[in-house]
Amino acid sequence: MKIYTKTGDKGETSFTCGERVKKNDCRIEAYGTLDELNAVIGTTIAFSQHAFINDVLNQVQHDIFTMCAELAAYTNTIKPERIPQIKAKHVEDIEKIIDKVEAALPKQKSFILPGGTQLGALLHLCRTVTRRAERTIITLSEKIELNPELLMYINRISDMFHVLSRLANNEANQKEQQPIYKYFDKK
């Protein structure tokens, strides 16, 4: 099978069901941003030597493929039970990870600057790309009815990336920096 099909040369692509749409369709934007997130996660794994974080990120990569499959196949002609879907269990798994990591960290008392170690900074990048993906999915949800667990999952992994970045920085003894609000008078 060739990588190029020439069927997208005029700015269109196909969904799983065969429906043709413009490449700027909001569904394409949503799973395109998820694809970008998956690539950023893969980059993070490539630079990380943290076994626990890498295992978590690898599972999230698989879950993102599930999300993309769900969004690509979402039509009135395909029954939801016939496509991979994000389930409540996916959300619960992420919540357990967040709870486990938060229990090992000092309590966060304010906003923190993204950055720190290389791994911490990459996890913050994952968090921000996740938030952008979430915005595209919310835009899509205003046009078609989506699986509510999908929206919950994307929101949870944003939080997960935040606590994982804190974990990476904390384990490397990297002090968290709070933002300095210059010229702000607290009167």
Mean pLDDT value across residues 141-161: 94
The number of CA neighbours under 13 Å toward the Cβ of 8 is: 11
Nearest to 13, CA basis, from 52, 77, 68: 68
Q: What is the full DSSP assignment across 61-119?
A: HHHHHHHHHHHHH-SSSS-GGGS----HHHHHHHHHHHHHHHHTSPPP-S---S-SSHH
What is the per-residue pLDDT for 95?
98
Query: Which CATH code for domain 18-105+112-171?
Result: 1.20.1200.10
Q: Is the pTM for the entire model greater than 0.95?
A: no
Question: How confident is the prediction for the chain on average, in pLDDT?
Answer: 87
> Is 60 exceeded by the pLDDT of residue 4?
no
The mean pLDDT of 2-20, rounded to a whole number, is 58
